[in-house]
Amino acid sequence: MDFRIEATAGDTNARAGMITTDHGQIPTPIFMPVGTVGSVKAVHMRELREDIDAKIILGNTYHLYLRPGLDILRQAGGLHRFNGWDRPILTDSGGFQVFSLSGNRKLKEEGAYFRSHIDGSKHLFTPEGVVDIERVIGADIMMALDECPPGTSDYDYAKKSLGLTQRWLERGWKRYKETEGLYGYSQAYFPIVQGCVYPDLRREAAKHVADLGADGNAIGGLAVGEPTEKMYEMIEVVNDVLPADKPRYLMGVGTPANILEAIDRGVDMMDCVMPTRNGRNGMLFTANGIMNMRNKKWADDFSPLDESGTAWVDNVYSKAYVRHLFISQEILAMQIASVHNLAFYLQLVKEARRHIVEGDFKTWKTMMVERVTRRL
């Protein structure tokens, strides 16, 4: 994997770059649609390529390991061949999903024990085992196994958790270096910076991660219950330490405003289920603000979903029609909303990149944050 910076915004830490993988190039900053089980919910691959123009999507190690399982993925020749996506894929390590299981998992030095949410069967994720799983899945970018502590964790727990994450990282990194991809192309491995909301722990974690010299680095454990301003502070703390010549991936964030603020602070890659999950529940993001499509006010509004013209290329559906679909509980409503929201997110980071290159990112970002946080 290769990364080069093509432009910087002088009055912020924002930068425009290009990641090159064996499955294609990824212009940064970039938003990555989440394809948990090998599919982005309610969105066809054709729409991801042609309408949304997604450059990279995510797969979820925990879910893919459980179903369809490694045997099927190995027989298929990896996730790219299994789901027909010929552009880059990133897989998380499953650490966040195991963390989310709460009562159904135990964290020990050897790894994370957990019960499947599908059938209750017992499993163990070790740092080495997760590398092996991600090799079988075949993602272009693989994530290290970590523990994701709650944003409200006290200092002692956060410090203990970070120690475990760092020891797991050493083991996972060793396994990564002594193995190779299974399908004839290279795979990168990103460590994850943890440390909760404590600057000294975040700096320690970022230094430990930076010293490995990996192809890229991730910032985890944010947007998990801590105040938004604390999240922004931690991004700044971490990015002061992480190498500037490697891509920085902020995991699981967030709203359009979160994304713009993260880019301002030097983040290159982001993902979140919000555009699809919220879309399926009737929330649409636009360049003019946020709409709840179930509201009565849209019942006779025949204007396009996003009048700014920056949304989905097939912006032919009116607000009234999409509201009708939601009220009627039509599956098409969820599909339209998911595609619309992803298209908006991808357009937002594309515009951010353009303004970084043109040198007016700060002015544009300030204006856009105010617009995208409005409730319409």
Catalytic residues, by residue number, are 92, 271
DSSP string, 54-91: -S-EEEEHHHHHHTT-HHHHHHHTSHHHHHT--S-EEE
DSSP reduced 3-state for 289: strand
Q: Which residue, chain included where needed, has tokens 């994701």?
A: 148
Closest residue by Cα to residue 37 from 82, 4, 2, 101? 82
Reported as type and span, the H/E element at residue 102 is none
- E strand intervals along 213-360: 217-219, 248-250, 269-271, 283-286, 289-292
Sheet of 122-125, strand order = 105-108, 111-115, 122-125
Task: Say how far apart CA 204 and CA 207 lie, in whole Å.
Answer: 5
DSSP reduced 3-state for 34: strand
The answer to whether the CB of 106 falls within 8 A of the CB of 60 is no
Q: How many CB atoms lie under 10 A from the CB of residue 234?
A: 26
Task: Say how far apart CA 93 and CA 108 lie, in whole Å.
Answer: 16
Q: Which residue, chain included where needed, has tokens 């083991």?
A: 171
DSSP reduced 3-state for 219: strand
Chain center to CA of 114: 23
Contacts of 202 (CB under 8 A, 6+ apart): 193, 195, 196, 234, 237, 238
DSSP reduced 3-state for 21: strand
Q: How many CB atoms lie under 10 A from the CB of residue 85?
A: 22
Q: Which residue, chain included where needed, has tokens 């013209």?
A: 309
